[in-house]
């Protein structure tokens, strides 16, 4: 049986996409750096970086929340389509979709709530979180962030994740969200009639 996809070709395509994305994002990062370099001296000091981190957490938290919520929606809708194809009559298929709709909305609301909590936690611990992120980005240890350090951080997946975890524990939040989603999916599989009654 032929493979449904070529892993090497997929990996090469992913690497190509990543390189293209980095080229496209570099000018955006440069503009962001210049915007936050209010003293116009070519570096971000601790105060300028603190403003940047506030903006980053607000934007990145919303972005992650949106991405995870969409992944959950797509997964649930794909499962629904698979179930729908098993029904012979359209009414049963529509009932299945209607049953899942409130669950999708509830999960999206829960995801948004978790990321809102993470944003509030960042604000409550802002100085500590900013200092940690600043230290991670200050690659040469001179107490300022050069444009190259800034760009290097946000074009490297591992460094970017480190900054996200320093500002708001994105790995923990994502893990908590996925645990709740998996529990809800398991509950729906084990008790499909119970889902209809909620």
Answer whether 0.75 is exceeded by the pTM.
no
Indicate whether 37 belongs to any domain: no
Q: 164 in a domain, yes or no? A: yes
**Does a structural domain hold residue 10?**
no
Q: What is the pLDDT of residue 34?
A: 97
Please count the structural domains in the chain.
Answer: 1
Specify if 17 maps to a domain: no
Q: Which of 50, 47, 49 is nearest to 149 (CA)?
A: 49
Q: What is the pLDDT of residue 129?
A: 93
Q: How many CA atoms lie within 13 A of 184 on its CB side?
A: 22
Q: Which domain holds residue 134?
A: 42-197
Q: How far apart are CA 132 and CA 151, in angstroms?
A: 18
DSSP string, 73-102: HHHHHHHHHHHHHH-SSHHHHHHHHHHHHH
Residue 158, domain member (yes or no) = yes
Please report whether residue 20 resides in a domain: no
Q: Which residues, including other chains, have CB under 8 Å from residue 73's CB and lie 6 or more apart?
A: 104, 108
pLDDT digits (tens, 9 = 90+) for 148-179: 999 999 888 889 888 888 887 777 777 887 78
Low-confidence ranges of the chain (pLDDT < 70): 1-5, 63, 67, 71, 75-77, 79-97, 188-189, 192-198
- Position 33 in a domain: no
Beta-carbon count within 10 A of 132 CB: 17
Within a domain: 30: no
């Amino acid at each position: 049986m032929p493979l449904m996809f070529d892993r090497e070709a997929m990996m090469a395509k992913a690497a190509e996409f990543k390189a293209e994305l980095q080229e496209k994002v570099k000018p955006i990062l440069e503009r962001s750096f210049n915007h936050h370099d209010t003293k116009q001296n070519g570096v971000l000091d601790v105060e300028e970086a603190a403003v940047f981190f506030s903006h980053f957490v607000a934007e990145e938290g919303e972005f992650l929340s949106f991405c995870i919520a969409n992944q959950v929606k797509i997964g649930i809708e794909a499962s629904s389509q698979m179930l729908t194809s098993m029904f012979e009559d359209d009414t049963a298929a529509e009932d299945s979709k209607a049953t899942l709709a409130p669950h999708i909305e509830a999960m999206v609301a829960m995801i948004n709530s978790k990321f809102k909590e993470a944003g509030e936690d960042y604000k409550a611990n802002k100085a500590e979180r900013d200092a940690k992120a600043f230290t991670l980005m200050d690659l040469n240890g001179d107490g300022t962030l050069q444009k190259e350090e800034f760009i290097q951080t946000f074009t490297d997946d591992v460094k970017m994740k480190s900054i996200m975890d320093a500002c708001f524990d994105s790995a923990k939040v994502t893990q908590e969200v996925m645990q709740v989603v998996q529990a809800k999916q398991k509950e729906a599989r084990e008790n499909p009639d119970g889902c209809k009654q909620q």
